Chain A
């Protein structure tokens, strides 16, 4: 089955700097790669996603890149702000819809 590894487990950045979180997956059949943000005490919520026929997607300060050959995808947050502090999860799924999540990255943005 699919295995998703996520790094780093914690990330501390200065406000205004960039943050990058990386994930690798094992199943070449995976074709959908969402990123979720979970604030303290809240449910995970989708922030951006990418499908296997696309190499990069951007939404304001957030971007995701996908390298299918290497089986890895990354989340990039630019100009970080204190409200970006949260736990971020990557996930991978195939057409059957069985999502596999990474272990999460705790991002702390310090003013």
Chain B
């Protein structure tokens, strides 16, 4: 299985702060994704990237930005965090037409 590592695993921050969630993978998968999970809403796509030069918005990209620093690294930033961005964030990777492999998640609390 792909090794998808997310840091930090837990973060508490204050409204207005800039936050970065990092994701790295060791399997050489070309496609990387950021999802947000809220109770009862499933997994909603924030951004996705098919390679270093190809980054696309998902359904809930407002208030977020991403950076694909290398094939193995895909970071999610909250420019100015707000309380309704409190959620569990998952990074995921995929090789071509295969399954999604999820990281262990980053729980973010914005006070």
User: Residues of A with Cβ closer than 8 Å to B?
Assistant: 1, 6, 9, 32, 34, 36, 42-46, 49, 89, 91, 95, 97-104
Contacts and interface: CB of A to CB of B under 8 A. Distances in A.
Contacts of A6: 42
Contacts, number: 48
A104 B42 contact: yes
A4 to B, nearest CB: 8
B105 A101 contact: no
Interface of B: 31, 33, 35, 40-45, 48, 50, 56, 58-59, 90, 94, 97, 99-100, 102-105
B45 A43 contact: no
Given A98-B45, A99-B45, A45 B102 contact: yes
A92 to B, nearest CB: 12
B36 to A, nearest CB: 11
B100 A34 contact: yes
A18 B24 CA distance: 39
B93 to A, nearest CB: 11
A22 to B, nearest CB: 15
